[in-house]
Structure 1
Amino acid sequence: MKKILLLLTVCSVLLSCNKAGKNEYIITGTVKGIDGKTVILEKQDETGKLIPIDTVKIEKGKFTFKGAAKEPEMHLIQVEAAEGKVPFILENGDIEMDINKDSVGIAKISGTYNNEELSSYKEAGMKIQKKMMKFQKDNMAKMNEAQQKQDTVVMNSLRKEYAKFETEFVKQSNDYVATHPKAFISALIIESMFNQMDADIEKIKRYYNALDQSVKDTKPGKSIKSKLDKIAAPVAATSATSTEVGGMAPDFSAPNPEGKAISLKESLGKVTLIDFWASWCGPCRAENPNVVAMYNELHSKGFNIIGVSLDKDAAKWKEAIAKDKLTWNQISNLKFWEEPIALTYGVKSIPATYLLDANGKIVAKDLRGAALKAKIIELLGA
């Protein structure tokens, strides 16, 4: 009888340590110093808008969410009266959160495999970021002095040293993906590689193929496959031949921010630049001031631009156009990487550009900066 009671006690302890059932999640959060405030469980929809999933109250410094997750997915916790949000992976199991109301960004998330991995990945990234911030602090005065004196040798040297941190971030991500085929964040990292200026499609394909099937079956896993399939699929005959230098650029049409259809044909000048970009593309936004300056200088001589955006959020697209002062024709179907014009032109990464002559023939691709301006001036005869 005593042995039976002991066994029941042990079972009771084990069950209490694994509260969530097989197909459910229980989020248990601790927020010291806050009571009676609201906690919101949120996620982003396909347009990037945050939508509430559930709401609870903090009682005695604790809160609990319960539910069922079909698959791992990034979510956020918003605590009333606290600045910032807590990103985490919602998945079935017991998820524990220790939140500091004054430093929400450093909340400790644990309890499930993917959240443990997310924490480890972020910690490794923070180590690199701290080194980067220290380098900035130690060399700020030196950089300011070099800029004032136009000392390009010192400026280039400091930029070269700073670039090493960016390389370190890339290596961290690559190493993680290569060694964690069962981690959900591996799929998120791989998907983000499509947004790089010179996306290495073969590398993306190799990393995707090595993923565990459970990760391939998630939304980001399916998204990666969809993009790879589109890139690998035979492009329409016109795009296969005419998007090369020397070919005639395929005509296209799409709505501008006001909803009016604008075509390539009606946008042509003596020289025309087709600029594939997006509000979320950092390198695109960084290049925009140079393109604006070039357009302002050469438009009166016959230089035109038509921007084709790979955005999916109309508000963010319009905001970027206004903020970056892009005064030329802008169009988009707001279909992200499924933008039909980008697919026709075989665009695999952005920014991407096509330079056309007065007849619409492609004379150059993916030129930037001084090389782009020199080619435009040559074609204009300016």
Structure 2
Amino acid sequence: MKKMKSILLITAVLGMANACNRATAPTSDTANGGNGESYQVSGQLTNAPAGTKVYLAELGETQFISRDTATVDEKGAFTMKGSVPEAGLYQLKTDDANQVLLALNNGSQVQVSGDATQLSTSYTVKGSPDSELLQRLMRELDKTKKTVESLGERYNQAAQAGREDTMRAIRERFTTVQARNIAGIKNLVRQNPNSVVSAFVVGSVLNPDEQFPFADSMAAQFKKTLPDSRYTQSLVTRLDVLRPTAVGVVAPDIKLASPTGAPVALSSLRGKYVLIDFWASWCGPCRQENPNVVRMYNKYKSKGFEIYGVSFDQDKTKWEKAIAKDGLTWTHVSDLKGWESAAGQTYGVKSIPQTLLLDPQGRIIAKNLRGAELEEKLKSVLAAN
């Protein structure tokens, strides 16, 4: 669905394996007979001929890392044993189309069963509360995924036909589905504050930037219950970066030069709703979005709406030409340092376009709204003006 954020990020995590598997020396006891404390994954698969390979891979920071391989016997059974440095998430698969996530720790005794040709939808898991929690999460997300895909098809059809009312209704329905999905995920996390799955979910399935208060409260809990977990440490580090520009805080001030060379402070626009727009003349998606932003600026500027454009350009001439060509008649600033922009550093900008919406007191009330989402938010906050 165009311009709508996917909430099914865990499916993308599973998909990482399709292109990112990296073979490493396995930390497995399957071949060496085992020593010390270890986990065991045993399975019973239907429609898996004898000799079918089953692969186990660890979820690293950016990719799955191959850890072990087992072979299915004539009864569809397999067993893996190994040791892990800490509790973490692992992928078990027969091929890229048939894979599931497990949570493993030394001492785990996990039993997996299912149809090898429909593993992701048919599997059951026992013996590991964390892995069972992952399965519950996956099944909830799968239900939502089907609804979202249906809404996406209807939305695209409505967009092609120019049916604005239908598009608006579908966006509202999507918002409801999204809110219900996020509420369900939060509920599972609250019920399982001692699980590494919960720490992973808060940092990698939910968006800590958009769910900052919840993520921050859970991080405080995880620091007590899971202080040494990599997922806790990663979440805490990420939240520390986000904290200065979290929704609800007063936006850090920016004071950079306008095209005329005169400095203009963000704080000088207090009293209005202000959209901070990080962009650049060389940024294709930014330029594609500009007509929508121009339309909304012209529609709402008389009602107390202003834009503070922060450019990541390095060439002043190109910056000024883009402003003129796209008809961007609002406030513009830049230090012409590209990605080293002082404002970009302060706000932790890693990609553009990126936006933040401030209330008249300078507090951040929303992030990364574009197109219809931005217009609906503006309509809401400026309704009384």
TM-score by length of 2: 0.56
The C-alpha deviation readout for 1:78-97, integer Å capped at 9, x for no partner, is 325x7332221122321011
Gaps (5+ residues) in structure 1? 1-19, 234-241, 250-272, 277-286, 305-328, 333-339, 355-364, 373-382
Q: CA separation of 1:31/1:186 partners in 2, compared to 1, >3 Å: closer, same or farther?
A: same
The partner residue of 1:120 within 112, 126, 136 is: 136
C-alpha contact 2:98 2:117 (8 A) present in aligned 1: no
The partner residue of 1:192 within 198, 204, 212 is: 204
The C-alpha deviation readout for 1:60-100, integer Å capped at 9, x for no partner, is 211111012232211112325x7332221122321011131
Distance 1:22 1:183 in 2: 24
Aligned length: 266
State the match for 2:189 in structure 1. 177
State the match for 2:85 in structure 1. 70
TM-score by length of 1: 0.56
Give the CA deviation at 1:136. 6.3
C-alpha contact 2:182 2:206 (8 A) present in aligned 1: no
The alignment's C-alpha RMSD in Å is 4.4
Give the CA deviation at 1:176. 1.7
Q: CA separation of 1:343/1:175 partners in 2, compared to 1, >3 Å: closer, same or farther?
A: farther
Determine if the alignment matches structure 1 residue 218 to structure 2 residue 219: no
Gaps (5+ residues) in structure 2? 1-33, 245-250, 259-276, 292-316, 324-336, 357-366, 376-385
Task: Give me the identity figure in percent.
Answer: 18
State the match for 2:219 in structure 1. 208
The partner residue of 2:354 within 352, 355, 358 is: 352
Give the CA deviation at 1:353. 5.0
- 2:130 is aligned with what amino acid? N
Give the CA deviation at 1:111. 1.1
C-alpha contact 1:191 1:223 (8 A) present in aligned 2: yes
Give the CA deviation at 1:160. 1.0
State the match for 2:109 in structure 1. 94
SS at 1:303's partner residue? Answer: helix
Give the CA deviation at 1:165. 0.8
C-alpha contact 1:114 1:184 (8 A) present in aligned 2: yes
Alignment of structure 1 residues 263-302 onto 2, 5 Å: 274-275=278-279, 289=285, 291-292=287-288, 294=290, 302=321
Distance 1:294 1:70 in 2: 49
SS at 2:73's partner residue? Answer: coil
Give the CA deviation at 1:215. 2.6
- 1:246 is aligned with what amino acid? K
Distance 1:53 1:98 in 2: 20
Q: CA separation of 1:274/1:22 partners in 2, compared to 1, >3 Å: closer, same or farther?
A: same
SS at 1:41's partner residue? Answer: strand
Give the CA deviation at 1:35. 0.9
Q: CA separation of 1:29/1:158 partners in 2, compared to 1, >3 Å: closer, same or farther?
A: same
The partner residue of 1:43 within 29, 35, 58 is: 58
- 1:291 is aligned with what amino acid? R
The C-alpha deviation readout for 1:296-332, integer Å capped at 9, x for no partner, is xx9585238xxxxxxxxxxxxxxxxxxxxxxxx9869
C-alpha contact 2:151 2:170 (8 A) present in aligned 1: no
State the match for 2:265 in structure 1. none
Determine if the alignment matches structure 1 residue 54 to structure 2 residue 68: yes
C-alpha contact 2:40 2:110 (8 A) present in aligned 1: yes
State the match for 1:79 in structure 2. 94
Distance 1:248 1:216 in 2: 44
Give the CA deviation at 1:133. 5.3
Alignment of structure 1 residues 117-266 onto 2, 5 Å: 117-132=133-148, 140=154, 144=157, 146-192=158-204, 195=207, 198-211=209-222, 213-231=224-242, 244-247=253-256
Give the CA deviation at 1:290. 5.3
Distance 1:216 1:302 in 2: 52
SS at 2:80's partner residue? Answer: strand
Larger Rg: 1
Q: CA separation of 1:45/1:331 partners in 2, compared to 1, >3 Å: closer, same or farther?
A: farther
